């Protein structure tokens, strides 16, 4: 069995990868970029795992641009589905724990409009190519790797590091509030928001267990993008007005779910503490950035 303290992290330049590297900095971390591992190539994945022999693999590598996924379906499935399968196969062969990250966008295509948060035991119905490719990745991980933690999260924000990557909605709102006289933000898409630092801390706690399976991990509470934007700018002290609009007034290549709020039900069943409310996490993030 590989060393339990050796943590391999893929996608380290992304918003989630950066946070995971910080949380596991006292462990022996193997940070991998796309230049270090080609997850769509099974031989590459097996070779890297054989070279480093990690105790756990945290797969934060993904093709996450929702509109680009719609335009390039093949790449979406190659990275989000085939890449996930390759890691699952290699981890199963080496008896390595695998944490695979997925998304709230596996939901949202239900025939009826819903308002009850989705649990880990609800059946996913994705509405776009990104969601479909991530759901395919989930199913392949579950099929090929016994020791897996499937972690769905959503609305990720947080410290992005100095690389310039991992820019998120929150940073965009602050920048636009300085450049424009008014902001228009959709008010008919509801989801849970998640501070990357909080998520990473919970992952560090979860992998010490053998509670394998699907987990929703987000900060408590939910709101629309409009409500989130208003809270951001209120804390920031911006006077720039924010106007609610519908998704139809902000057309995009890929359809977004109107409701994809995640319920952290599995954590509660296991009596594991959930993350704090998103409002508290947001204040902490802005304080860490030196804004508050």
Report the CATH number that the domain containing residue 41 is assigned in CATH: 3.40.50.720
Amino acid 111: pLDDT: 84
Please, which residues bridge with residue 226 across strands? Answer: none
**CA 267 centroid distance within chain:** 17
Asked if the model's pLDDT at residue 3 lies above 50, the reply is no
Q: Establish if 290 belongs to a structural domain.
A: no
Q: Establish if 228 belongs to a structural domain.
A: no
Buried b / exposed e over 79-90, threshold 16 CB at 10 Å, is bbbbbbbbbbbb
Q: Establish if 82 belongs to a structural domain.
A: yes
Give the predicted TM-score (pTM) of the model.
0.95
Contact 155, 191 (CB under 8 A): yes
- Higher-pLDDT residue of 228, 169: 228
Q: Establish if 270 belongs to a structural domain.
A: yes
Amino acid 1: pLDDT: 35
What is the tally of structural domains in the chain? Answer: 1
Based on the number of CB atoms within 10 Å of its own CB, is 230 exposed (0-12), middle (13-18) or buried (19 or more)?
buried
Asked if the model's pLDDT at residue 56 lies above 90, the reply is yes
Distance CA 282, CA 291 (A): 11
Q: Establish if 281 belongs to a structural domain.
A: no
Q: Establish if 206 belongs to a structural domain.
A: yes
Q: Which residues are catalytic, by number?
A: 130
User: What percent of the chain is predicted at pLDDT more than 90?
Assistant: 89
- pLDDT tens column, 57-92: 999 999 999 999 999 999 999 999 999 999 999 999
Average confidence (pLDDT) over 238-261: 96
Q: Establish if 98 belongs to a structural domain.
A: yes
Q: Establish if 24 belongs to a structural domain.
A: yes
Distance CA 185, CA 250 (A): 8
Contact 88, 50 (CB under 8 A): no
Buried b / exposed e over 232-243, threshold 16 CB at 10 Å, is bbebbebebebe
Non-local CB neighbours of 26 within 8 Å, separated by 6+ positions: none
Where in the sequence is the domain holding 37, given as residue range(s)? 6-162+192-221+261-276
């Amino acid at each position: 069995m590989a060393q339990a303290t050796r943590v391999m992290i893929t996608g380290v330049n992304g918003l989630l990868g950066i946070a995971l590297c910080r949380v596991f900095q006292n462990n022996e971390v193997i940070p991998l970029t796309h230049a270090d591992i080609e997850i769509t190539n099974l031989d590459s994945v097996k070779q890297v795992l054989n070279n480093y022999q990690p105790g756990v693999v945290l797969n934060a590598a993904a093709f996450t641009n929702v509109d680009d996924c719609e335009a390039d379906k093949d790449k979406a499935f190659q990275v989000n589905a085939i890449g996930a399968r390759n890691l699952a196969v290699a981890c199963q062969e080496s008896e390595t724990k695998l944490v695979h990250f997925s998304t709230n966008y596996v939901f949202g295509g239900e025939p009826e409009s819903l308002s009850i948060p989705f649990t880990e035991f609800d059946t996913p119905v994705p509405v776009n190519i990104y969601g479909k490719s991530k759901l395919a990745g989930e199913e392949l991980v579950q099929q090929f790797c016994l020791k897996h933690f499937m972690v769905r999260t959503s609305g990720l924000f947080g410290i992005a590091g100095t690389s310039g990557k991992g820019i998120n909605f929150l940073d965009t709102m602050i920048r636009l509030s300085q450049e424009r006289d008014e902001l228009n933000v959709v008010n008919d898409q509801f989801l849970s928001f998640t501070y990357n630092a909080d998520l990473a801390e919970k992952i560090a706690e979860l992998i010490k267990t053998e509670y394998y399976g699907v987990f929703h991990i987000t900060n408590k509470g939910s709101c629309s993008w409009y409500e989130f934007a208003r809270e951001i700018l209120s804390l920031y002290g911006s006077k720039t007005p924010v106007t609610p609009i519908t998704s139809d007034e902000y057309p995009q290549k890929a359809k977004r779910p109107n409701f994809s709020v995640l319920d952290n039900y599995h954590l509660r069943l296991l009596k594991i503490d959930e993350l704090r409310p998103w409002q508290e996490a947001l204040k902490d993030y802005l304080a860490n950035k030196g804004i508050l």
